[in-house]
Amino acid sequence: MVDALAALNISKSFDGFIALNNLDFTLQSGEVRALVGSNGAGKTTLIKILTGAHAPSTGTISINGKQLPGGDPAAHISGGISCIYQHTSLAPNLTVAENLFLGNHPTNRFGLLDKKEMKRRAQQLIKDNETDVSPNDLVADLPTVKQKEVEILKALAANSSVILMDEPTAWLSFPEVQRLHDTIRRLKKTGVTIVYISHMMDEIFRVCDNATVLRDGKLVWQGSVAETDRSSMVQHMLGDGGQDTSNERNERRNEVEKGQKTLRVSNLSRENLFSEANFSLYQGEILCITGLIGSKRSELLQCLFGVAQPDKGQIFLHGIPQKIDTPRLAIQLGIGLVPEDRRMQGLFLSHSIEENHVAASLGDFVNRGLFNRKRVRTRAQDTIRQLNIKPDDVKKTVGNLSGGNQQKVLLGKWLETAPDILILDEPTVGVDVGAKNDIYQVLQAFKEEGGAVLIVSSDVEEVQNIADRVLVMANGKLSASFDAQALSHEELVAKISGESVNEA
């Protein structure tokens, strides 16, 4: 039987650094294969080789028995490989039909664009794949999940038999994830092969047939997801020196007692976004607000940090009412905010780790008008060690780091402000298991030292893994709080999906 995809003896080196080492990666027609590994394991390099963006140092790539030339993206696309990236590659100001056939448009006998035929083909693709869009829809007007579906249609329009999906659900809500998984199952039945690159363990076990685990550029485990479990897979990813520390965190979580009430939100409302938000946050606890994407959780956080202003209600810090009208004042009052989009809102990608580290606390490093660069470097080096940032070079440009290490730099930047309250919006989106464990341990330590942590997260596994209490937000309204450990995964998902929530 001919493999749908056969990447054999693949190696890749960069200036003496071995990113991939004699890797064999083969898939069958209609297979859904998870590709997992910690940041730096070699996943991105393999994706670039499979798409033709990089030529392998050694090895060959074949689709249905036909060998493809290395380092030729056009040949790989025409050969049947497409990739759907975490951030959309669609043209937002073009229609669905125009995006589907961009660079591959049908022409009439004069060699000009045949718009009628393009729309006809687009409509047929949409119908065959049961996608709820119109050929005339502007891509910018579509929700994220439908944009993902359009990207899948674009791959099918190019006659792709192998589709790589790189973190496809990073910005999707739970129902949207389910919808995308339904689409993947439908593609599987038609013989399309899917490579599913994700850090989300529950998704891998839900939608994938098999998994390949990479570590340090080598294949360390491969097999059926039905014949393994989460802990085993994490162990393969992290190696002998790593472990999944969720059980240890649960034990430590139970040992920490809540302290004084640090933050109280009373009837906070912002017109057409959220209304009558009421909750308290204590020293020594982690409170998670979960719910579907679009439930206005981030908008609530923006009011707490002074990015936006509520129409009514009050915010109390240590029992004192505060009008937080600027982020500068929020920082002065002891609040730090790790935003949802680290690349657009949190980091200066063209600057170094040490420059990003002090971006929110520059005044602390100025004495009599002089900037203390030596102290900046020392503090950045301390945070690199504390958060296990790789590489451990303060001069390294942040834009060249992996997603997990970028997130650690962003977290370290806000810890440097010495906040009483640390607010995090989707803190581990696109972050691998090893980096998640590092981040969770830092948050646990911050909590044990008396800090108060408020997290917005759509990751149910994360919420149950780290939270002491949970609030569910839906349609701009908060539920009463409940104990994160009191509910099963299925019960928490049901509450997020709309069932009533009773206060614990």
> In the listed set 238, 273, 298, which residue is the last one of a domain according to the structure?
238
Shared domain check, 190 and 279 = no
Instruction: Indicate whether 503 belongs to any domain.
Output: no
Shared domain check, 223 and 206 = yes
Residue keyed to tokens 């363990």:
201
In sequence order, the β-bridge partners of residue 371 are 366
Shared domain check, 228 and 83 = yes
Instruction: Indicate whether 504 belongs to any domain.
Output: no
Q: What is the pLDDT along the chain (504 residues), one digit of tens a residue?
A: 789 999 999 999 886 778 899 999 999 999 999 999 876 688 989 999 999 999 999 999 999 999 999 899 999 999 999 999 877 789 999 999 999 999 888 888 888 889 999 999 999 999 988 888 999 999 999 988 889 899 999 999 989 999 999 888 876 777 788 888 999 999 999 999 999 998 788 889 999 999 999 988 899 999 999 999 887 887 787 665 444 555 555 555 555 567 799 999 999 999 989 999 999 999 999 999 988 666 788 899 999 999 999 999 999 999 999 999 999 999 999 999 999 888 888 999 999 999 999 999 988 998 888 889 999 999 999 999 999 998 899 999 999 888 889 999 999 999 999 999 999 998 987 787 788 889 999 999 999 999 999 999 877 788 888 999 999 998 889 987 888 878 777 777 777 766 443 333
Rounded distance, CA 439 to CA 429, Å?
12
Instruction: Indicate whether 28 belongs to any domain.
Output: yes
In sequence order, the β-bridge partners of residue 107 are 113
Instruction: Indicate whether 462 belongs to any domain.
Output: yes
**Contact of 135 with 105, CB cutoff 8 Å:** no
> In the listed set 238, 271, 301, which residue is the last one of a domain according to the structure?
238
Structurally, how many domains does the chain consist of? 2
Shared domain check, 272 and 190 = no
Shared domain check, 197 and 276 = no
CA 343 to chain centre: 12
Shared domain check, 86 and 46 = yes
- Number of neighbours of residue 44 by Cβ within 10 angstroms: 18
Q: Please state the three-class secondary structure of 104-143 as a single string.
A: CCCECCCCCECHHHHHHHHHHHHHHCCCCCCCCCEHHHCC
> In the listed set 238, 256, 273, which residue is the last one of a domain according to the structure?
238
**367 exposed, middle or buried (CB, 10 Å; 0-12, 13-18, 19+)?**
exposed
**Contact of 405 with 39, CB cutoff 8 Å:** yes
Shared domain check, 262 and 168 = no
Shared domain check, 456 and 330 = yes
Instruction: Indicate whether 502 belongs to any domain.
Output: no
**Contact of 351 with 362, CB cutoff 8 Å:** no
Residue keyed to tokens 């646990």:
444
Rounded distance, CA 401 to CA 500, Å?
42
The pLDDT score that the predictor gives to residue 240 is: 57
Give the helix ranges, DSSP H, for 364-488.
373-387, 403-415, 433-448, 460-466
Query: For residue 336, what are the domain limits?
Result: 246-496
**254 exposed, middle or buried (CB, 10 Å; 0-12, 13-18, 19+)?**
exposed
Residue keyed to tokens 């309204």:
477
Shared domain check, 487 and 360 = yes
CATH number of the CATH domain containing 476: 3.40.50.300
Instruction: Indicate whether 501 belongs to any domain.
Output: no
The pLDDT score that the predictor gives to residue 249 is: 52
Shared domain check, 349 and 232 = no
Shared domain check, 334 and 251 = yes
Shared domain check, 364 and 442 = yes
Buried b / exposed e along 332-352 (16+ C-beta atoms within 10 A): ebbbbbbbbebeeebbeeeeb
Instruction: Indicate whether 466 belongs to any domain.
Output: yes
Instruction: Indicate whether 439 belongs to any domain.
Output: yes
